[in-house]
Amino acid sequence: MKGILTALLLLMFIGTVNALVIKVDVAETLKGNVSSFSINSSSNIVKLPIEFYDTGSVAYLARVRIYVYNDTDLIFSGWSAEKALKPGDRKLFDIFWPATDAGNYTAKLRIYFGNEIFEQGGFRIQVNKTVQAEDVFDVRDFKTHDDHVDFNIISRNDSSDAVVVPLKYTSGWVFEQAEVGSMKAGESKRVTLHYISGVWTPGSLKLVVASNSGSFYTEKNLEMKKETDLFEPIRQALCMIKICI
């Protein structure tokens, strides 16, 4: 009898404990904010570093776009590379604008994160002077692929912190910039620029290759046309029978 009573009391205790367990669900929030934004306009190549902060509870991919205006006319739009942020992460996105003329400009930025857009405008950019730039870069072996282009850059002079900036391309596309870094005279570097086209059509691409100081500056107009790979049908057929090359 005593054992039965003890068992009943134990069951009542367990039931009471279970009744006190409260399930707490944390609501998922997709949020972000700019934690820092600065403008370095000390040279022809204006640097715009933006730090974005994942203030929510969801991880996402983020990408920054900068718009530069002369009065009300849009004169430049540049895209950063895409980066992954976890909740609490802060990531720095660098965008470069090749300014060819001194003057007062305004800028607006948009950050695309998850399925949201953060927008902020009204930034002033004052370019006090530009230097006479020397054309020292060459672009060779340009190739177009489904989601990127690649090419070699050769410098005729020593150059510190070179950057590649797409200036003009098919409207509606996303085209990333790239930092090349320091280059020695005669050195060649292979550079890859990623893009998102949506519907792909052949077109032209205008690139700027420049040093951060702005003293070296080269513009190149290139045709984006996918090359036909004569061996691709053979590769696909071999892959279907598990002999991929």
Domains 33-127 and 137-224 share a fold: yes
The DSSP code for 134 is B
CB 148 within 8 A of CB 195: yes
Say which residue the tokens 């004569």 belong to: 230
d(CA 117, CA 212): 29
pLDDT given at position 11: 54
pLDDT given at position 229: 55
> What proportion of the chain, given as a percentage, has pLDDT over 70?
82
* 33-127: CATH, from 1.10.10.10, 2.60.40.1180, 3.30.930.10, 2.60.40.10: 2.60.40.10
Given this structure, which CATH class describes domain 137-224? mainly beta
Strand pairing partners for 51?
36, 92
Where would I find the beta strands (DSSP E) of the chain? 33-37, 45-53, 60-70, 73-79, 83-85, 90-98, 103-113, 116-127, 137-144, 148-155, 159-168, 174-175, 178-183, 188-196, 203-211, 217-224
Mean pLDDT across the stretch 116-124?
93
3-class DSSP state of 96: strand
pLDDT bucket at 162, cuts 50 / 70 / 90 = very high
Mean pLDDT across the stretch 140-166?
94
d(CA 185, CA 221): 23
Lowest mean per-residue pLDDT among 13-27, 50-64, 135-149: 13-27
The domains of the chain are located at 33-127, 137-224
Strand pairing partners for 112?
63, 117
54-107 pLDDT, tens digit per residue, is 999 999 999 999 999 998 899 999 999 999 999 999 999 999 999 988 999 999
From residue 164, how far is each of 31, 94, 121 by CA, in Å? 31, 12, 25
Q: Closest Cα to residue 36, out of 55, 52, 60, 47?
A: 52
The DSSP code for 58 is S
Amino acid at 122: G
pTM (2 decimals)? 0.79
Q: Closest Cα to residue 223, out of 136, 147, 149?
A: 149
